[in-house]
Amino acid sequence: MSIEIRTAAGIVRGRWENTVAVFRGIPYARPPFGALRFAAPAPVLPWDGVRDALEFGPPVPQAGSVSGGDCLTVNIWSPEPGAAGLPVLVWIHGGRYLEGISGNPHFDGATLAASGAVLVSMNYRTGAEGFAHIAGAPDNRGILDQAAALRWVRDNIAAFGGDPGNVTVFGQSAGAGCLAALLAMPMAAGLFRRAIVQSLPGTYFSPRLAATISAAIAARLGVRATVAELARIPPGPLIAATDAILDRMPEFVDSWGPMALTPTPFSPVVDGEVLPRAPWHALTEGAAHDVDLLIGHTRDEYRLFVGEPTDEQITAALERLTPATGDYRAAYPEATPRQLYELVNADWLFRMPTLHLARAAGGRARLYELCWAFHREQGASHSLDVLLVFGTLGADEVRAHPSALPNAAAEITGVAHRMRTDWLTFAATGDPGWAPYDPETRITRVYDTEPTTGPYPEERSRRLWDAHRFDTLALV
């Protein structure tokens, strides 16, 4: 059965899917092509009649998809369109700042919405289109897209059953990096009341570092990293040039610094204007002081990416990524070289930036860690929390997996329900049910077969990084 809702730009037609009304592919900004390529998002143009919102919008340009069209779109799942005034959850997907689509079936919002919230997801520009530093273009275009989507939510979500005064933004990995940037951006103030930061990457670039990386990508195409010259390059070749530089990044570690050891050439740019400070400093100085925060990571953040590191890679990681006063071999004497490689990468890229963001919030952030796992090799891996919160990994899939742990299929429904309930409670009230993090008690919610609450579990890593201060990454 179809359902029609009037937005500020025109009427959209969605449909009921079981007990949830779903609207897909609603444009929140004009397509970022032609004269609008590399520009800040432009307001969507109104339309006459009724616009079908039945299919996800096309992906933004990325590997495997360079089509145009209305790619800056939002999707909405609502159990009660109209004047219900439900909490709103807005999802920002990850993907290394390089890729990702809101139409990924793992981000289906039906389960969250059926639990009593309005769920919104979005496409935003990724890769060089959204994050490269380009002379003549604003930095952080992908994050500017997200801010535009949040303004669309503010102006339109009431008609879909949401409360525009009770918006919680949640994002994971690169989506968490964007969300932490939004917390620090004055232009995003007032667009959301709460934030859930899942697996924050610790990489924010200075303009000089970002410009050097973009120059290397543009040089592969025989041009300079300017709007005038890159506008002549179609998205496909620009993506290929980015991939070529990505493959060679470790060669640049002496000048680009530790970011050259990560799986992406892009991160938010601390330009001093739109993004004035890296988020740890911004929160310490009082940014987003009126935003409730839920912050956390998984235990085995880097295990998916480890593979079989060479001796050279292990040495480089321990030398380049360890804090100045830290010694991983002394802190983890039982760890194999491969485990040390995994630990230092997990801590430098995800676990410690996340912990330090909670610390920077000054007693107003709740902290969590996911320790439950279903996969024998992957453990509590990067992105597993997403599948649990969205409810898109089920017991049958776990049971059929050849590497599933013996009791995982029986456990997953309960673990997922507890996490999802805590996310929804936080979105509704700002209090998920445990005390805020502070440096003395370090209270942390640990999700395992049965949840527990106590001191932060990764004590050895916490001590290694205690004196370190995460900040903007610059050229060496």
pLDDT category of residue 66 using cuts at 50, 70 and 90: confident
The residue assigned the tokens 């892009």 is: 266
CA distance 363 to 435: 9
Calpha distance 182→177 (Å, rounded): 9
Residue the block writes with tokens 């009341």 = 193
Residue 67 has pLDDT above 90, yes or no: no
d(CA 166, CA 179): 16
The β-bridge partners of 16 are: 21
What local confidence, expressed as pLDDT, does residue 283 receive? 98
pLDDT at 269: 98
Tens of pLDDT, residue by residue over 295-332, are 999 999 999 999 999 999 999 999 999 999 899 999 99
Beta-carbon contacts of 202 under 8 Å, excluding residues fewer than 6 positions away, are 348, 349, 350, 352, 353, 470
Q: Give the residue from 444, 441, 451 showing the smallest Cα distance to 416.
A: 451
Domains belonging to the chain, first-starting first, are 1-475 (3.40.50.1820)
For residue 249, what pLDDT band results from cuts at 50, 70 and 90?
Answer: very high
Q: What confidence tier does 365 reach under pLDDT thresholds 50, 70, 90?
A: very high
| Res 338: pLDDT | 97
Helices 337-346 and 311-320, axial angle in degrees (round to 10) = 40
pTM as predicted = 0.98
Tokens for 74? Answer: 């939002």
Average pLDDT over residues 52-70: 92
| C-alpha atoms less than 13 angstroms from C-alpha of 447 in its C-beta half-sphere | 30
Q: Over the stretch 396-414, which tens digit does the pLDDT of each residue have?
A: 999 999 999 999 999 999 9
Residue 27: what pLDDT? 98
| pLDDT tens per residue across span 70-101 | 999 999 999 999 989 999 999 999 999 999 99
**Residues annotated catalytic, as ranges:** 173, 301, 382
Three-state secondary structure call for residue 73: strand
Q: Tokens 């530093």 sit at which residue?
A: 133
CA–CA gap between residue 199 and residue 172 (Å, rounded):
6
- Mean pLDDT within 250-270: 97
Find tokens 């959301």 and name the residue: 192
pLDDT in tens, 158-180: 999 999 999 999 999 999 999 99
What is the model's pLDDT at position 343?
98
For 100, the 3-state DSSP assignment is coil
Angstrom distances, CA of residue 121 to CA of 24, 45, 89, 200: 9, 20, 8, 19
- Rounded to whole angstroms, how far apart are CA atoms 429 and 38? 38
- Token readout for 98 is 């390089």
Question: Mean pLDDT throughout 456-467?
Answer: 98
